[in-house]
Amino acid sequence: MADTTSTTGGFDAVDVIRTKRDGGRLSDAAIDWVIDAYTRGTVADEQMSALAMAILLNGMDRAEIARWTAAMVASGERLDFSDLRRDGRPLPTVDKHSTGGVGDKITLPLGPLVAAFGVAVPQLSGRGLGHTGGTLDKLEAIPGWRAGMSNDALRAQLRDVGAVVAAAGSGLAPADAKLYALRDVTGTVEAIPLIASSIMSKKIAEGTGALVLDVKVGSGAFMKTVDDARELARTMVDLGADAGTRTVALLTDMDTPLGLTAGNALEVAEAVEVLAGGGPSDVVELTLALAREMLDAAGLPDADPAAALADGRAMDVWRRMIAGQGGDPDAPLPVAAETDTVLAPATGVLTGLDALAVGVAAWRLGAGRARKEDPVQAGAGVTLHAKPGDRVTAGQPLLTLHTDTPDAFGRAREALADAVAIEAGDGPTSGDREPGLDRSIVLERVARP
């Protein structure tokens, strides 16, 4: 085993841990050393675990977080799209990142929508873990579609199509990949400095000119309160600014699942509905809100993304994006072998449908994974037949569960046991809305003054 207590470079791991354990701040040199040494394996996992816990408990100031993020970026390669041209004109680049939620298929229609205005949208995404779905898992439900792309192929598709969703290469911020896996098993995922640096190191290394963040808040999000979500958003916006990447964040509601589906192929079908000019109102609202921010960041504040959904431009880019990565946009999507229906227990107004419970149910049905190496079922998930604010009738279908493994229905129903809240009583016809429960999906906007 390597001698991790040596004074290589004038530092040793124990002294760095003690500094943060005792509430001190880490110097730039100490941060650079510990990230590099951990990436190379000369700081052991148990030592980085102790440091991560000390950061969780004692925090970091802005300068520390900025340096930590810069050190993560420096651990690997950095892409550069500044020379992208189309018809001799430079292509502005802008990306979007979501902190993860249930039914969050927004990336799928959003990239093609923004690209329809001559903006390059490089979206390097990941797979799902736990109750939050992964963008790559959703797209891999499309027959033939592939997530892996070389840097040259990625650049070519950005130049020719304008939108790409691909797996982040192992060369981008490798220190983050190693630390993320460690945080997941040491109870330090919730540390805001580490969340912020994890997200922003990858996005800064990606080389996009501007970034729009969708910071989820609520039961189905990692940030349960608006205060925590706001702190995370402000931290990331500052990190982007420090790195020269124009960054803005929207805080968005994740108490209820987005749209009417949670699952891979199910969400692809819903995203295509949005691209065709339809789809659930909350998915459309958030897609347009994020598109407006991205277009503004790309220097197109007067662009009208709603028009590009209505006239088919965004759908055209979607089809070219999917085909460019080997997928067949016309192929039927996978369908689960078995379904089970959850019925409304009472008549009245649906006042709550817990996002976390729905996400866990979809996960247990096979739409998600407990470990990164686990397979997922393309057709598994949950379809919602009502959202909070809808009036429902006892015995009507409320949720449909989809899976290839019917033994999973029992555990999925257990997850949903307390998910539904209905204010009982005789009301108008099923399907009518209760206006008092309608609210905007966007809660706040966070940007540099």
198 is catalytic: yes
**Active-site hit among 49, 125, 198, 219:** 198
Residue 299 has a CB neighbour count (10 Å cut-off) of 12
**Active-site hit among 183, 216, 246, 391:** 183
Angle at 365 between CA 363 and CA 368, to 5 degrees: 30
176 is catalytic: yes
Residue 205 has a CB neighbour count (10 Å cut-off) of 26
**Active-site hit among 97, 203, 216, 292:** 97
**Active-site hit among 12, 32, 104, 176:** 176
97 is catalytic: yes
**Active-site hit among 155, 202, 234, 292:** 202
Residues involved in catalysis? 97, 176, 183, 198, 202
